[in-house]
Amino acid sequence: MSGDKLPAWAGPSATAALFALSWECLGRWQTYPAHLFPPPSEAARALADMWASGELLRDAAASGRRWFSGLLLGNLLGLALGVLTGSIPWARRSVGLLLNFLRTIPFLLLVPFAMLWFGLGELEKIAITAWGAAFPVWLNVQTGIVGVEQEYVWAARCLGASGLRLVWEVHLKRCLAYLVAGTRLSIATGTFALVAAEMSGAFEGLGFRVFYSYQMFQTDRMMAGVLLIAFLGLTFDRVFVESVRRLLPWSRKVADEL
Amino acid sequence: MSSSPSALAFQGVGHDYGEGPRLVRALDRVDFEVHHREFLCLLGPSGCGKSTLLHLAAGFLLPRRGAVLVDGAEVLGPGVDRGVVFQQHSLFPWETVAGNIGFGPRLKGFSRKEREAIVERYLAEIGLREFAARYPSELSFGMRQRVGLARAFANDPEILLMDEPFASLDALTRLQMQELLMSVWERHTKTVMFVTHDVEEALLLADRILILSARPGRVLSEFRITLPRPRSRFQLADRHLTELKGEILSALTSTLRREAS
Amino acid sequence: MRLFALAVTICVVRASPQAAETTKLIYALPASVPAAVAYVAIDREFFKQEGLEVEPKMFSSGRQALQALLAGQAQIQSVSETPVVHAIVQGNKLATIATIARHGEAKLIARKDRGIFKPGDLRGRKIATLPGTNSDYFMYRLLKRHGIKPEEVKIANMSPPEMVVAYAKGDIDGYFAWEPHIYYGRRYHGERSTVFPPAGLYEGRVTVNMAPDFLAARPEAARRVIRALLKARDFMGRHPDEAARIVASRLAMDAKVLRDLMRENVYAVELDGGLPRLMTEVGAWVLEQNRSDKPMPDFRRYIDATALMKERPSAVSLE
């Protein structure tokens, strides 16, 4: 195989194309009720309609605002909690136990509670997104801080670092790789949470659009929405990984494994 | 004996690891001093507690018995007055070479210009000027040890503690590092406590060598090396030194035999 | 929602009609008061008397029950006409063999103390609805009648149970839903609320639907279903209290409250000219909402009166 002659994206693209093609064929040949699971061409057409009417941009903007705010908030929260439970053993036992318990609650079940506490509106959706984003970040930062090699701590102390300075210079910087891994995960979990949140109490947004299309029996739009959400998620993930690779060159080895 | 306190002093120091039935007596009753600007080598077989002595001096551990004094004051923890060079370089992977070397000065609050000057100087001394902006992961092991050395020196501590820093290097690199250490030390004379299990290395570097017994660690004997400085490797061929080496080796092997029995 | 995930997995399974004669039939039902005839038929085992083994499957909304029919998971299904119109417009195939009620269950409930005394006061207020449902259609009719543009109202989308919570909390000023969710809303803000019934604007129908393939393969099954439903309607007429008890237990509601709610509907097993007219009106709304250039379907082609004609011709009055 002339594997080294082909660019890196050739393999994945070919696989995706093959998958899309077989899906299209199965749909057209009516091997199953196509209107229940529209083939890519239908979804593409629906996407074009949604774009032309301007609603795609509005939905994407609405979801995007919530997404960015929620992810930022969630990452900061996760970082703070991770530093707390990572640095202080009794906090790890008490707060950590609580967080592990909360972590298992499915997002969908959380939405009614969030509506109860925050009422309807952007804050509720941002809160749910932040919730989804915080947990992977918290867990990763905790692991990073707990696992800081003793020798780095010793070396830093011999060079004059102590207290908060030490935490900043060594613990946080060391666990930056873990934080990056956590943030990467938070992109996915935050998206799941946001979509769950948008299914009630919203009137615009990509998650809302999928739900709305379901109510209207417009399965092609549902499919378009789902594919778009997945595609955007993948894009952000890739952008993030590449940025990390550029901004933190020493973590190149870690980034390559992502 | 001078009336002013020595740079580093161990008084009746004993230390154990573990508790109860799993107790390991690492050090028994260790008494010795390191004088100002002296290069002292601790020589002994592995497991004799020499690393423990170094960790006690550094302040990573507190002794269970006895006291460790620096300039007459008890050691309570690590400090900038005692720089450490580790066996595994322990360079910060998130800092560049320049960042690592300049770490101590940066924490001390030196201005950017001053810091850059210090880093420049030490980079030149260790011969790694072109690697200033690289990260440790891009360097060979030997280069990393050189940076570790520079990092410790750059912070200008009064005492330098070195824990078998060249043990993991191949023979040739080790020779180079010994030369490097000697030249750097001669330019910035400090008190050094150097732990090793390599007799020739001790002979080359030290003013004084202490032989430690195997577990539990105790000072067995002391040898004074009066070779004039700057030293060269070829002086090791000197007959007097060869005899000394023989004595030291027999002292070492006898402790090993004692441990085995 | 979980149903979306369920729908996607179900969709991959081929919908095929049950070929064997004595297999169990699944009847997908919504939890709503006007479906009373169906509940009575099941509870009194009239289907069994007609030789059909029918198993009811309750869904929290008719939309979900319809999904089950379309995916082949149910053979008989009941739902208000609105989701049916949506499904047909989008190209789905089904056959309506009867309606079992004319209902007035779609209502608006709103806060008097927030200044909503008449529909015109909805301007600028926060109102909830569930898209694609009969109450959503009622909202359309109500707003249109009073010259209110949708943009003039802040419309939030959620399911009726969530509406009740939001209403109780005061996050919304009112909502469009079907009973008993209106009743639940009244429980929180009874004196502070006004309820707007659909009278005159919209009278819905509860339909009974089957998949066309299945109907073609087993026409006698449709007749048996009709017979069972007719029996249930007659029973309801003779034993209203017992019927109310049956419905109350199936919906887990208080019997007294239910009696009042049941009075808002007219129970009859029929196919009248009002049905295709209603479906066309709803169809126009669907097409307008979707900004679709799809053609208006001929809804009469989706109504199959064969079975009802055979059993009780007087109940059929399609033009």
Residue A4 has a pLDDT of 59
Cβ atoms < 10 Å from Cβ of C2:
8
Percent pLDDT > 70 in chain C is: 92
Nearest by CB to C11, from A37, A53, A211: name it.
A37
Residue B239 to residue B242: CA distance in whole angstroms:
5
Please say if the pLDDT value at position C180 is more than 80: yes
Q: What is the dihedral of CA C55, C58, C64, C66, to 10 degrees?
A: 40
Contact C162 A214 (CB under 8 A): no
Residue C230, phi then psi, degrees to nearest 5: -60, -45
Task: Name all contacts of C150-154 with Cβ < 8 Å and 24+ positions apart.
Answer: C152/C122, C152/C123, C152/C124, C153/C122, C153/C123, C153/C124, C153/C125, C153/C127, C154/C124, C154/C125, C154/C126, C154/C127
Contact A169 B107 (CB under 8 A): yes
Nearest by CB to B78, from A158, A169, A249: name it.
A158
CB pairs under 8 A between A and B: 67
| pLDDT average, residue stretch C159-173 | 88
Chain A: closest CA distance from residue C24 (Å): 23
Chain C: closest CA distance from residue A120 (Å): 6
Question: Between β-strands C76-80 and C154-157, what pairing exists: parallel, antiparallel or unpaired?
Answer: unpaired
Residue C5 has a pLDDT of 57
Question: Considering only CA atoms, which of B161, B84, B109, B99 is closest in space to residue B136?
Answer: B99
Chain C: closest CA distance from residue A107 (Å): 11
Tell whether A199 lies on the interface with C, counting CB pairs under 8 A: yes
| pLDDT average, residue stretch B116-138 | 89
Chain C residue whose CA is closest to A218? C90
Question: Considering only CA atoms, which of A191, A188, A184, A93 is closest in space to residue A142?
Answer: A93
Residues belonging to chain B with any Cβ–Cβ distance to chain A shorter than 8 Å = 58-60, 77-80, 82-84, 86, 88, 90, 92-94, 103-104, 107-108, 135-137, 151-152, 155, 157
Q: Are C127 and C208 in contact (CB under 8 A)?
A: no
Nearest by CB to A159, from B59, B80, B94: name it.
B80
Chain A: closest CA distance from residue B161 (Å): 10
Q: Are C4 and A198 in contact (CB under 8 A)?
A: no
Contact A217 C89 (CB under 8 A): yes
Spatial neighbors of B141 by CB under 8 A, at least 6 apart, are B89, B168, B169, B173
C131, amino acid identity: P
Chain A: closest CA distance from residue C219 (Å): 23
Chain A residue whose CA is closest to C131? A215
Cβ atoms < 10 Å from Cβ of A103:
13
Spatial neighbors of C196 by CB under 8 A, at least 6 apart, are C107, C108, C109, C110, C119, C142
Please say if the pLDDT value at position A254 is more than 60: no
Residue B207 to residue B42: CA distance in whole angstroms:
11
Question: Chain A residues with CB inside 8 Å of C1's CB?
Answer: 108, 199, 211, 214
Chain C interface, mutation test: which of A51, A55, A216, most C Cβ atoms within 10 Å? A216
Tell whether C86 lies on the interface with A, counting CB pairs under 8 A: yes
Residue C78 has a pLDDT of 94
Residue C115, phi then psi, degrees to nearest 5: 90, 15
- Read off the pTM: 0.68
H/E stretch holding A65: helix A55-87
Question: Chain A residues with CB inside 8 Å of B147's CB?
Answer: none
Contact C169 A215 (CB under 8 A): no
Length of chain C: 319
Question: Which residue bears the tokens 């129970």?
Answer: C267
H/E stretch holding B43: strand B39-43
Q: Which of residues 124-153 of A touch B (CB under 8 A)?
A: 149, 151-152
Residue B251 to residue B239: CA distance in whole angstroms:
18
Residue C8 has a pLDDT of 54
Please say if the pLDDT value at position A54 is more than 90: no
Contact C14 A216 (CB under 8 A): no
Tell whether A248 lies on the interface with B, counting CB pairs under 8 A: yes
Tell me: the pLDDT tens digits for C252-302? Answer: 888 888 888 899 899 999 999 999 999 999 999 999 888 777 889 999 999
CA C185 to chain centre: 20
Residue C209 to residue C166: CA distance in whole angstroms:
34
Residue A34 has a pLDDT of 60
Contact C12 A32 (CB under 8 A): yes
Chain A: closest CA distance from residue C288 (Å): 12
CA A122 to chain centre: 18
Chain B residue whose CA is closest to A166? B107
Give residue A257's pLDDT band: very low, low, confident or very high (50, 70, 90): very low
Residue C181 to residue C163: CA distance in whole angstroms:
8
User: Which comes out higher in pLDDT, residue B210 or C252?
Assistant: B210
Residue C206 to residue C34: CA distance in whole angstroms:
7
| pLDDT average, residue stretch C171-193 | 89
Question: Chain C residues with CB inside 8 Å of A120's CB?
Answer: 126, 156, 166, 171-172
Chains B and C: 3 or more CB pairs within 8 Å of each other: no
Question: Between β-strands C266-272 and C316-317, what pairing exists: parallel, antiparallel or unpaired?
Answer: parallel
Residue A35 has a pLDDT of 66
Contact A159 B151 (CB under 8 A): yes
Residue B104, phi then psi, degrees to nearest 5: -60, -55
Residue B160, phi then psi, degrees to nearest 5: -120, 125
Nearest by CB to B78, from A152, A154, A252: name it.
A154
**Alpha helices (H) along chain C:** 2-11, 36-43, 46-49, 62-70, 81-89, 134-145, 160-169, 181-189, 212-217, 219-238, 240-251, 255-262, 274-289, 306-311
Q: Are A75 and A138 in contact (CB under 8 A)?
A: no
Residue C230 to residue B53: CA distance in whole angstroms:
98
C147 burial via Cβ count (<10 Å: 0-12, 13-18, 19+): exposed
Contact B78 A157 (CB under 8 A): yes
Residue A256 has a pLDDT of 43
Q: Are B45 and B255 in contact (CB under 8 A)?
A: yes
Give residue A251's pLDDT band: very low, low, confident or very high (50, 70, 90): low
Chains A and C: 3 or more CB pairs within 8 Å of each other: yes
Question: Chain A residues with CB inside 8 Å of C91's CB?
Answer: 35
Residue C20 has a pLDDT of 42
Tell me: the pLDDT tens digits for C210-262? Answer: 999 999 999 899 999 999 999 999 999 999 999 999 999 888 888 888 888 89
Tell whether A106 lies on the interface with C, counting CB pairs under 8 A: no
Please say if the pLDDT value at position C6 is more than 80: no
Average pLDDT of every residue of chain A = 83
Tell whether C164 lies on the interface with A, counting CB pairs under 8 A: no
Spatial neighbors of C279 by CB under 8 A, at least 6 apart, are C81, C84, C85, C88, C299
Bridge partners (DSSP) of residue C103 are C204
CA B203, B206, B209, B214 dihedral sign is: negative
